[in-house]
Amino acid sequence: MTKEVREKIQALFDLKGLRMTRPREVILEAAFSDRGDHFTADELFEKARAIDRSTSRATLYRTVALLVEGGLLHEIDLGKGVTSYDPNFIDSPNHNHLVCIDCSNVIEFEDLHISVLEDCITRRLGFTPASKSVQIRARCDALKRAGTCVHLVD
Amino acid sequence: MTKEVREKIQALFDLKGLRMTRPREVILEAAFSDRGDHFTADELFEKARAIDRSTSRATLYRTVALLVEGGLLHEIDLGKGVTSYDPNFIDSPNHNHLVCIDCSNVIEFEDLHISVLEDCITRRLGFTPASKSVQIRARCDALKRAGTCVHLVD
DNA sequence: TTAGATGCAAAGACTTTGCAGTTAA
DNA sequence: TTAACTGCAAAGTCTTTGCATCTAA
C-alpha cells in the first residue's frame, strides 16, 4: 500500500470519526496492497481471509460500503453480473476500462480528449459533470492472430 | 411498438426458432411500446402485469435473457444497484447515458467524436472494439438555479 | 467511559431452475 | 406430433441487518 493511499484512508477515517480496528486493517490491506487488481466482494473476502482467516463477510461489506462512500473504492461493472470494485481511482482519478471479451482482461486507460469531450457534452446538455466513465468491450487482436494473448498474464 | 422493432423481434425469433406465445407478446409489448423508457426487471414485471395480470416472473426473466442475448435489449447500469434494461439500442445503436444525480433522470445522447476517439484508443491498445459506452453522472443546472428542473417530467 | 465496531445468524432482494403440464408450428 | 414454452415453487446467489458483545480512543 502506497503512502498516498494510507494518507487518504487516514483522512477519511479522521473525517468520519471511524476507528482503525484489526478487521478493517486486514480488509484495507487486502483491497489496496495487491497491485491495483479489481475484485468482487467475494474475491476481496478470499484475499482478506488469506491474511486473517477470521475475516467476516458482514464486516467486509460494511467496510467496503464505507470506502465506496468515501471515494476510495469505486464500484465498476465489468460485465460479470456482480459488482466489482476498483481501488485505483486514488492514483488515477480519471481512468476508464477496456474489457477484453476474449481473455476477459481489464485494461485501464486515460484519455484527455475524451474527458474534455465528455465535459462539453455534459454542459451543452445543461448539466455539471460529477463523474464520467467510459467502458469499452473489445476483442484482443493478438489472440485472434496468434492464438495466444499477452494479456493472458492474468 | 415501431415496425422496425417488430421486424427485429421477428428476425430474432425466426433465427433462433423461438415461438411467439401470449406471455411473450405481453412482455414484448411492455418492453417496447412505452416511449423508450428504461426499466428494471421488476418495473417490466409491473408493466407487463398491467397488460396481463397472469405474467410470471420466471417467463419474464427468461424472455429478457433471450432479448439481451439477441441484442434487442441492453443491460445498463444506472447506479440503482439493480440492472436496468434499455430498449432503445434498436433505434440508436450508439447512444450513451447521462444520469442526473439530482433528479435521477436519464438523458440519452450520441456523439460521433467520442465514438471515433473510443475507436482509436481501442485499436491503439491492440484491440478491436465490440461495444462502447459512456456514462456520465452529473448535476442539473436548472435545478440548482431555479429549484426545479425541466427533466423532472419523468 | 462510551460511541463505534464486530460477528453471528437470520432475513432480504433479486434471479435461476427442475419439473410436470401446456402449446405453437 | 413434438420441441419449445410455461408457471409454480424451491433453490441459489449476493448483500444487508438486528442484536448482544466487544473495544478503540
| β-bridge partners, A134 | B134
Answer yes or no: do A41 and A81 share one domain: yes
Lowest mean pLDDT, pick from A26-30, A148-152, B73-77, B113-117: A148-152
Answer yes or no: do A59 and A25 share one domain: yes
Answer yes or no: do A70 and A144 share one domain: no
* B65–A contact, CB cutoff 8 A: no
Answer yes or no: do A23 and A41 share one domain: yes
- A56 closest-nt by C1' vs CA: C7
Answer yes or no: do A17 and A29 share one domain: yes
Residue-wise pLDDT for B86-107, tens only, equals 999 999 999 999 999 988 899 9
Answer yes or no: do A130 and A145 share one domain: yes
| A107: containing domain | 94-154
CATH number of the domain where residue B123 is located: 3.30.1490.190
> What is the Cα–Cα distance from A83 to B81, expressed in whole angstroms?
9
Domain boundary among B43, B75, B90: B90
Residue B57 has pLDDT above 80, yes or no: yes
> Of A122, A115, A106, A113, nearest to A35 (Cα)?
A106
C-beta atoms of A138 and B129 within 8 A:
yes
Domain count across chain A? 2
Q: How confident is the model at residue B15 (pLDDT cuts 50, 70, 90)?
A: very high
Q: What is the pTM of this model?
A: 0.93
Answer yes or no: do B107 and B78 share one domain: no
Within 7 A of a protein CB, which nucleotides of strand C? 3-9, 13-18, 23-25
pLDDT at B102: 86
pLDDT at B14: 97
Answer yes or no: do B4 and B74 share one domain: yes
* A42–B contact, CB cutoff 8 A: no
Answer yes or no: do B134 and B78 share one domain: no
Domain boundary among A73, A90, A107: A90
Q: In chain B, what residues touch A117 (CB-CB under 8 Å)? A: 111, 113-114, 117
pLDDT at A150: 67
Domain boundary among B90, B105, B134: B90
Share of chain A above pLDDT 90, in %: 83
The CA-atom distances, in angstroms, between B130 and each of A139, B35, B39, B127 are 7, 27, 24, 9
Find out whether A118 and A71 touch, Cβ atoms under 8 Å: no
Answer yes or no: do A6 and A38 share one domain: yes
Within 7 A of a protein CB, which nucleotides of strand D? 3-9, 13-18, 23-25
CATH number of the domain where residue A75 is located: 1.10.10.10
Residue-wise pLDDT for A112-154, tens only, equals 999 999 999 999 999 999 999 999 999 998 887 887 776 654 4
> What is the Cα–Cα distance from A92 to A86, expressed in whole angstroms?
11
Shortest distance, CA A80 to any CA of chain B (angstroms)? 12
Answer yes or no: do A85 and A102 share one domain: no
Answer yes or no: do A145 and A122 share one domain: yes
Sign of the four-CA dihedral B89, A112, A138, B124: positive
